[in-house]
Chains A and B, each alone.
Chain A
Amino acid sequence: MDIEMVSQHIKRADLLQMYYYLLLTRSLEDRITALYRQGRIVGGCYTSHGMEAIAVGYASAIERDDVIAPFHRDMGAFLIRGITPGEVLAQYLGKRTGPTKGKDGNVHMGDLKRGVLGFVSHLADNLPVATGAALAFKIRGESRVVVAGTGDGGTSRGDFHEAMNFAAVRKLPVVFFCNNNQYAYSTPQRLQMAITDVVDRAMAYGMPGEIVDGNDVAAVYLASKRAAARARAGEGPTFLEFKTMRMHGHSEHDAAKYVPHELLEEWKAKDPILKAERLLTQLGYGDEGYFQEVADRAKKEVEAGLEFADHSPLPEGREVLEGVFASEEEVQS
């Protein structure tokens, strides 16, 4: 990202905050991966390793009242919305203090009070849901937007297309994004679609689209800000394709031997944290000492979170029976 552009359009404090969240995400997910390898996490373990700039960038670009519909590579967005590392770890460990009280695992978290729409494993399902949230804002004349995304594989689903189309027809305040990390589980993009750029799909819905370097947090932030402003102004949805690379397997059990080694080497040099550090250095906002200090702070917060999660109770078996139906008091107003 151009230095001039960044210094003109992103406040120093915002950029430093994003850097902190990049490190917090990496630190938290590294800890989760370690716990998984120790056998302490039962079930799946999905990370955003090497893709942290996407969630951190878009979640930093919106307002407190806005809503996100993230998917499983968006840990940074959950954190920025206020779901704490302790709650995330409790969720992964199946504790009652996690956002789903043990009912669901890993990144399957949501919280309406913090503007996070929980997603389901069926990717792209949450895109129509996001258009509905945006529809509610439009009907009530509120100036709120929704940011909703999926992976490259998710754009093959009908729900992706139904959501894009409906949002465009009704000019709903949604920012759609695709985390194009080149693989859907083991399936490379060339077996997923016959186009090179997912953004081409936007044209079919009469929606503007943009290709963005997904490893550059400043670029993600600025593109998301522009798209959110457009949505807020009543001009309708935008589609952002964040190009990136999945550096780990689909889940931590997957060694991802199907990914060519050279491709991983190439993208290792484009690591979003390294990129952010170079940017901060060039801008004179930070140096090695500062980076180390932030890394330590992030690590400390993760360790405190783990302590919270470790000391949290597991749910009792019979709690399985609770919560099938909602009561009137739980309806959002």
Chain B
Amino acid sequence: MTTATTSVEISYLEAISQALDEEMARDERVFLMGEDIGAYGGAFKITEGFLQKYGEWRVLDTPLAESGFVGAAIGAAMMGLRPVVEMQFADFISCAFDQITEVAAKNHYRWGAAVPMVIRAPFGGGVHGGPFHSECPEGWFFHSPGLKLVAPSTPYDAKGLLKAAIRDPNPVIYFEHKFLYRRIKATLPQHDYIVPIGKADVKRAGNDISVITYGAMVHLALEAAQLLAQEGIDLDVVDLRTLIPLDKETVYGSVRKTGKAILLHEDNKTGGIGAEVAALLAEECFDCLDGPIVRIAPPDTPVPFSTPLEEFFLPKTGDIVEAARKLAAY
């Protein structure tokens, strides 16, 4: 387990561990449930050492039954605890779909029962996980009122958003990107901080084209921005961070400045978050647009396994560069 007072660089994964550890130490209502999170420390070792530190009633290994333990989290949350459940892989969240969309999302609206809980969902491809260990299922929940969805791209945001999610009085699905776990590092503040839910972040300010994205794709956009800067094309990279509630003002602000928008995500193209943001831009920013709204997203297929197939499937830096050049010509 990482300590809370480290001043060295820590990974995205360690930032998640720290957030859980600090919240559990701060608030005894916070407890964890999931498959293999106890003695084994979780499939990705996020909760390594937690069982020894917090005991078996705050770090609960569950039977292999996502609907069952998400339902249990809902019940515990309504009784005043703050459960954080781990999906071993975000893909398995489909087993708990009913509990999330019908019970957790609707309880407060229907009869006023607050459900303060977090579902951690390790998502995303680029790790050769194949169709059942690489999915981006945020689109399924984007359409369910009553849930909050967050997807951090940096260690700072990963820690701050997880703390905010745990302290939020609503069900929050926290999409943590597996590809970023050990690849992205940063030095984090020593003090307790949160990243507020509902606030996007401009990760790179630029004047020519807005790239609106989240999760691992933020880093692709930043890479593309560096390459394009040499050609005199200046990208404004907006990291949504929160998918629901969407920070529309920051998105509109960016596009009003640049007049051009690329929507970039790793979820399938049809019905993805990009489709919704494109529609919002058409409704609210039509007058400011100087070119077509462009979407960069994988084709409408499952996430494939074999390396050339997955490479073809995932958006690449070159796709952004190419799209930006075309847009810049308008």
Binding site for B on A (CB under 8 A): 67, 99-100, 103-104, 108-112, 117-118, 120, 122, 125-140, 146, 158-159, 162-163, 165-166, 169-170, 323-328, 330-333
Query: Given the interface contacts A104-B110, A326-B108, does A125 sit within 8 Å of B75 by beta carbon?
Result: no
Cross-chain contact A331 with B114 (CB below 8 angstroms): yes
Min CB distance A264 to B, Å, is: 33
Query: Given the interface contacts A109-B111, A110-B111, A130-B75, does A332 sit within 8 Å of B80 by beta carbon?
Result: yes
Cross-chain contact A129 with B68 (CB below 8 angstroms): no
Instruction: Output the nearest chain B residue to A69 by Cβ-Cβ distance.
Output: B75
- Complex CA gap A112/B114 in Å reads 10
Q: Which residues of B contact A104 (CB under 8 A)?
A: 110-111
Give the residue of B71, B83, B114, B115 whose beta carbon is less than 8 angstroms from that of A159: B71
Q: Which residues of B contact A126 (CB under 8 A)?
A: 71, 103
Binding site for A on B (CB under 8 A): 31, 57-58, 60, 62-63, 65, 67-81, 83, 98-99, 102-103, 106-116, 145-146, 148, 169-170
Cross-chain contact B106 with A129 (CB below 8 angstroms): no
Q: Which residues of A contact B57 (CB under 8 A)?
A: 138-139
Q: Which residues of A contact B114 (CB under 8 A)?
A: 326-327, 330-332
Identify 11 new A-B residue pairs, CB closer than 8 A, beyond the known A132-B78, A166-B69, A323-B109: A103-B111, A112-B78, A128-B72, A133-B76, A135-B75, A166-B68, A324-B146, A325-B169, A331-B116, A332-B79, A332-B113
Cross-chain contact B169 with A158 (CB below 8 angstroms): no
Please list 23 pairs of residues, one from A and one from B, whose beta carbons are closer than 8 Å in the complex, sorted by A's number: A99-B111, A100-B110, A100-B112, A103-B110, A104-B111, A108-B110, A110-B110, A110-B111, A112-B112, A128-B99, A129-B99, A132-B71, A132-B76, A132-B83, A133-B79, A136-B75, A139-B57, A163-B71, A166-B62, A170-B60, A325-B108, A325-B146, A332-B113
Min CB distance B172 to A, Å, is: 11
Pick from B75, B103, B148 the residue with the most CB of A within 10 Å: B75
Instruction: Output the nearest chain A residue to B104 by Cβ-Cβ distance.
Output: A129
Instruction: Output the nearest chain A residue to B80 by Cβ-Cβ distance.
Output: A332
Min CB distance B85 to A, Å, is: 10
Cross-chain contact A136 with B81 (CB below 8 angstroms): yes
Cross-chain contact A162 with B67 (CB below 8 angstroms): yes
Cross-chain contact B103 with A120 (CB below 8 angstroms): yes
Cβ-Cβ contact count across A and B, 8 Å cutoff:
158
Min CB distance B300 to A, Å, is: 29
Give the residue of B31, B75, B145, B170 whose beta carbon is less than 8 angstroms from that of A129: B75
Instruction: Output the nearest chain A residue to B57 by Cβ-Cβ distance.
Output: A139
Cross-chain contact B67 with A103 (CB below 8 angstroms): no
Cross-chain contact A166 with B72 (CB below 8 angstroms): yes
Cross-chain contact B76 with A127 (CB below 8 angstroms): no
Instruction: Output the nearest chain B residue to A327 by Cβ-Cβ distance.
Output: B169
Min CB distance B102 to A, Å, is: 5
Q: Which residues of B contact A324 (CB under 8 A)?
A: 108-109, 145-146
Instruction: Output the nearest chain B residue to A136 by Cβ-Cβ distance.
Output: B79
Min CB distance B36 to A, Å, is: 15
Cross-chain contact A158 with B67 (CB below 8 angstroms): yes
Min CB distance B54 to A, Å, is: 11
Q: Which residues of B contact A130 (CB under 8 A)?
A: 75
Q: Which residues of B contact A327 (CB under 8 A)?
A: 114, 169
Pick from B71, B74, B169 the residue with the most CB of A within 10 Å: B71
Among all A-B residue pairs, the 7 with the closest Cβ atoms: A128-B71, A132-B75, A162-B68, A132-B72, A326-B114, A136-B79, A133-B75
Query: Given the interface contacts A103-B109, A136-B76, does A326 sit within 8 Å of B170 by beta carbon?
Result: yes
- Complex CA gap A131/B76 in Å reads 8
Give the residue of B70, B107, B116 whose beta carbon is less than 8 angstroms from that of A118: B107
Min CB distance A49 to B, Å, is: 25
- Complex CA gap A327/B170 in Å reads 8
Q: Which residues of A contact B107 (CB under 8 A)?
A: 110, 118
- Complex CA gap A120/B112 in Å reads 14
- Complex CA gap A253/B304 in Å reads 49
Q: Which residues of B contact A110 (CB under 8 A)?
A: 107, 110-111, 113
Min CB distance B93 to A, Å, is: 15
